Amino acid sequence: MAELGFWGYRRADGRVGVRNHVAVISAMDLSNSVARKVCSLVRGLVPILPHFGRLLLGADAAQHVRTLVGVGANPNLFGALVVSLEPDSAARIATGLKEAGKPVEVLDVQGAGGTLHAAMAGARVAGKLMQQASVLRPEWCPLDAVTLGLKCGGSDTTSGLAANPVIGEVTDRVLAAGGSVLFSEQSELIGAEEALRERAVSRVAAEAILGAVSRMEELAFQHGVDVRGINPTPDNIAGGITTVEEKAFGSLAKSGTKPIQGVVPYAVAPPRPGLWLMDSSGPAIELMAGLAASGATVVIFSTGVGNPAGSPIAPTLRVTGHPTTATAWENIDFDASGVTLGNETVAEAGERLFHHLLRVLSGELTKCEVFGDEEFAISRLGETL
């Protein structure tokens, strides 16, 4: 029997990517237009276009830079062109990438003399990076080199009945092979605290996990919000999810059955392999940016009623347990609806999804990659000055 593994790209920092992208990372919204122009001049570049990035304060500023550095250092990138309005903000990000051993070029729009000059200069250096990247060949890597990110969105009851338990089987297998898995959106774990506590590896880990969940509930209270008005969302409710607690147990199923090591902050890589909760807001785009910055090289994203989003950095495998969504909604990679209807067991579907994951790791494209249903945003913490 062939050893389980995949064809991956081993990087200077020892981590392994499942893609070999060159990215154009704009440090702030002011340079996004130049980044877009560069991407239109050189085929195949991955644009990373954050909003904001100027006059951010404190933790907001730190998170913005940390996320862009984490994304730039993600093993799925060969290297990057960092673009900004002026050199200091570009250098802050480029330094982080250099420390991770990534080939990086820097472009500042003011220094280049405007957007068209900058675009041409950027295209020349990004083009060279693309040619350098094209020389690399993947090598056979064991499964412990994988960091899998998890998300559910547009959930309905099939998410909890089928899609998430099936993903949980894959989570368990990646962990058993020594890989890492990141799950998140802890506002949707409200009500599942006992289940989380039982799986924490230590009391410290349990406190951190429950603290992260409790922080989100406090956030709702501070705004005088009854979370029932927000979560479950209208599409969740139409799909049969009644309370945030019910959603929590359905959501938790994708994390499998193995112990939880603890919590990592948004856009921070886990300190050792295993299953970790990344502290993050729930919405898909900002969450997946955090996962990519934390080192996730592939994402499995379940949906009930349909949610098309993917990460531009980490190939995103869309899974559904809803029979109609599986056929009528075009942005699905894996159909787990047989489990909902009782035609297939969770274990059988989990085996199928695991092998689909292996193919994606080795280069098979997901629907998000093919159709470009990818977006990027960094979680904000407060006001800009």
Partner 1 sequence: MTARRWVYLVPGRDNVATAVQALAPGDRVELEFVGSVTIGEPIAFGHKFAVTTIEAGADVVKYGHSIGQAIRPIQAGEHVHVHNVAGRRGRGDLRRTSRGEGEGG
| Interface residues toward partner 1, by CB under 8 A | 156-158, 160-161, 187, 190-195, 197, 210, 213-214, 217-218, 220-221, 223-228, 231, 237, 239-240, 242-246, 249-250, 304, 322, 340-345
CB-nearer residue toward partner 1: 40 or 324: 324
22/228 Cα distance (integer angstroms): 42
**How far apart are CB 307 and partner 1 at their closest, in Å?**
16
CB-nearer residue toward partner 1: 95 or 243: 243
CB-nearer residue toward partner 1: 101 or 323: 323
354/360 Cα distance (integer angstroms): 10
Classify residue 190 by its DSSP letter: T
DSSP for 251-269 reads HHGGG-SSPEEEEE-TT--
CB-nearer residue toward partner 1: 184 or 187: 187
**How far apart are CB 342 and partner 1 at their closest, in Å?**
3
CB-nearer residue toward partner 1: 348 or 364: 348
Q: CB within 8 A of 53, min separation 6: which ones?
A: 26, 27, 28, 29, 30, 64, 89
**How far apart are CB 322 and partner 1 at their closest, in Å?**
8
**How far apart are CB 327 and partner 1 at their closest, in Å?**
14
**How far apart are CB 29 and partner 1 at their closest, in Å?**
33
The rounded Cα 210 to chain-centroid distance in angstroms is 22
CB-nearer residue toward partner 1: 3 or 222: 222
> Which residues, in sequence order, are bridge partners of residue 334?
319
The rounded Cα 189 to chain-centroid distance in angstroms is 18
137/148 Cα distance (integer angstroms): 22
**How far apart are CB 306 and partner 1 at their closest, in Å?**
14
178/176 Cα distance (integer angstroms): 5
> Which secondary-structure segment (H or E) carries 320?
strand 316-320
